[in-house]
Amino acid sequence: MLNIGLVLPDVLGTYGDDGNALVLRQRARMRGLKAEIHPIRLGEPVPETLDIYTLGGGEDTAQILAADHLISDGGLTRAANAGRPVFAICAGLQVLGESFRASGRIIDGVGLLDATTAGMQDRAIGEVASEPTRAGITSNLTEPLTGFENHLGATILGPSAQPLGTLTRGNGNADQAATADLSDGSAQRTYEGAVQGSVIATYMHGPALARNPQLADLLLAQAMGVALADLEPIEIPAVDRLRVERFNASEPPRSQR
């Protein structure tokens, strides 16, 4: 039985990112595995023995509530420290960092990612695509990543975190204003998402795992304790067509903007 934790869908479920848990469950079931989703709502303890955890997006107040709960509860931190995979989207990425800005103040994050989030000058909204860096537990990713970003957070990665992808389209983690005074500012502006330990985080909505089946299978493999190559392939032509459509979307590449 594969047990999938859907963490705080009542406050981190604004943008349909609950769909990532559904994708994981369906891809497991298509391989003949039993899989169930366990919603964990605000005020409920986070079990530390589930196989995988997903977090989605949310607004400022929701982020603050989520951070307070996850820090005080500690279950997600214990699960991540034990090597159980955690997949976080947008606000989920920010909440798992060291700190983030919400409602005009700096809020302490869960601390699973060496990342801090301030504000962007302009909202990042539109298609985003990247080439996987193959950092850490994503070392076996080979297919380009695609999603839809919609955020005002400028996330700067510290030395213990690595980007999930190197941008080919879109804004990614941070803008010019947030990185202008950084010694590695030009590199930070090419980053999308973050990888640290068993945590994979990204600004890609979509849901991300519907648009990136190899990433979904990597997370499943991590949760099951097997190699990505050991998973039986799944052919879904509609997903292939979706990826081609999104990579050919009308927004011009970064190099032409």
Q: How many CB atoms sit inside 10 A of residue 125's CB?
A: 13
- 205 a catalytic residue: yes
In angstroms, what CA-CA distances link 27 with 31, 33, 231? 7, 9, 10
Is 123 known as a binding-site position? Answer: yes
- 90 a catalytic residue: yes
Q: Detail the residues annotated as belonging to a binding site for substrate.
A: 123
Q: Detail the residues annotated as belonging to a binding site.
A: 123
Which are the catalytic amino acids? 90, 205
